[in-house]
Amino acid sequence: MAAETNAETGTGAGTRADTVAHTGVHTGAGEGAGSGAAAGAAAPAAGAGARRRDLAVRAAVGQGLLDSEPLVCLLDTAGIRASAAALTGAFAAVLPPGTPVLHAFAVKAAPLVPVLRLLADCGIGCEVASAGELALARAAGALPEHTVLDSPAKTTAELREALALGIAVNADNHQELERLDALVAAAPTASPIGVRVNPQTGAGTIGALSTATATSKFGVALRDPGARARLVRAFLDRPWLTRLHTHSGSQGVPLALLVEGVRELHALAEEINAAAGRRQVDTLDIGGGLPVDFTSDEETPAFARYAAALREAVPGLFDGSYGLVTEFGRSLLAKHGLVLARVEYTKTAGGRPIAVTHAGVQVATRTVYAPASWPVRVLAYDATGAPKTGDPVAQDVAGPACFAGDLLATARELPPLVPGDLVGVPDTGAYFFTAHYGYNSLPRPAVHGYAPAPDGGIRFTAARPAQDLAALVAEAGGAHRDALL
């Protein structure tokens, strides 16, 4: 049963130096966006989410969410719904009525069944990249026609299952196409089938996440010698190939590179259809990869801005000639997650204060191992859940893991932290606590969704329970204790 509480108002993000309260709403209605984009695709107001977040922290303390566990993770369900509406509205505003569109959430960004179910309720399907992610999508009730399978290493069994279910499949390479030849010949399928291409348009600032480099492992490299002609021939030889797919963006990739990748995809579709003498390619899967601003509460760039940039650069994408698939992940969920951890101890080393907390590498893996690429904001709260005040002091915010680099922030200016205080790490709704890293056998923390209650308070609903020690032992082979003797 969901619990409810009232939390004091007046503790919004604007009271804290490291969190900016924003009241403006981005419409993203740039040149070519059209009046509909401004009316129906506005990004959620940043200030509203920040106010809900601070109320949720106070409510989490008041309801005892941290009484038995020193670490909890929170998801703002109202914020998730607002982002989903902004996405669907942004593309609806620039596409002709009746254009087939599937917005599929990249499950890897938040592999939690309740999250997938919430997004399905918002009209968002699932993009999966493994048998495990497909199982999660099916458990959430995602329809086969609202599911897309992408992976550079699909097994024959995975392909066979997808084709039997009618799930869309994007082949990664020519060898996979040869496997599909045999499977398609062996049994009829309702699955739309396409090919992923690498437009080789270049890298962003984070090399490990740049999927459109000259040597990326993903897709058919479009600019390699002879590759384009061979790919056109592959489509002409396979009338059942009806889609093209690319994913040219991610965190650190500028909007212009995302758009350039989609432009290359559209040009290839036009070339294939001209060679076929018919509209063989009928759907373009443009992937996701819209970056997130981790420096503030603003949701920027907005989906409407991206849709407008696409329509200006690739007008043929919006004339009704092609159905459209998107695969956003981080940009839908990141801004709506919060890690909330207790400060257990404080100390000083080398003249610098250190706050030892229960949030570290297990919930912020990328930040700990690559802090320059994945810096996070840290919000300071007192033991009651109220934002801390006081003159900022440079201090390290450390996690619980047994290695020196387990740090959320170094020399971060925050009000002085003391044992019993709380630290909040916002923007963690995707790729942070949703995908746990089991260093030191640290258990998975509980995840709670939160939303405004009718009485003005905050209502929490459990989305994933905290992992107890018995479950952790079982996961580590506890039932097979003597197997290696």
DSSP run (H or E) holding 448? strand 446-452
Bridge partner list, 4: 459
Tokens standing for residue 404: 């020196």
**H-helix segments, 77-200:** 77-92, 113-121, 131-139, 156-165, 174-186
Using DSSP's 3-state secondary structure scheme, residue 426 falls into strand
DSSP for residue 173: S
Pairing state between β 168-171 and 147-149 = parallel
Q: Is 402 a catalytic residue?
A: yes
**Alpha carbons 274 and 316: distance in angstroms, whole number:** 14
**H-helix segments, 348-391:** 365-369
Among candidate residues 193, 196, 311, the one with its CA nearest the CA of residue 265: 196
- Convert 261-299 to b/e letters by CB count within 10 Å (16 or more is b): bbbbbbebbebbbeeeeeebbbbbbbbbbbbbebebbbb
Number of residues that make up the chain: 485
**Alpha carbons 302 and 327: distance in angstroms, whole number:** 15
Among candidate residues 38, 37, 44, 103, the one with its CA nearest the CA of residue 328: 103
344 exposed, middle or buried (CB, 10 Å; 0-12, 13-18, 19+)? middle
User: Considering Cα of 120, then 250, then 360, then 357, what sign does the dihedral take?
Assistant: negative
Bridge partner list, 464: 447
Tokens standing for residue 332: 């839908």
Residue whose token pair is 């009316």: 39
Bridge partner list, 461: 449
DSSP for residue 44: P
**Alpha carbons 365 and 16: distance in angstroms, whole number:** 26
**Alpha carbons 190 and 51: distance in angstroms, whole number:** 46
φ/ψ of 325, rounded to 5, equals: -130, 135
- Active-site residue, selected from the candidate residues 73, 122, 126, 402: 402
- CB-based contacts of 131, cutoff 8 Å, min separation 6: 155, 157, 158, 161
Using DSSP's 3-state secondary structure scheme, residue 241 falls into strand
**Alpha carbons 247 and 328: distance in angstroms, whole number:** 10
Assign 3-state DSSP to the chain and report helix, strand, coil percentages, each to 5: 35, 20, 45
| Residues designated catalytic | 402
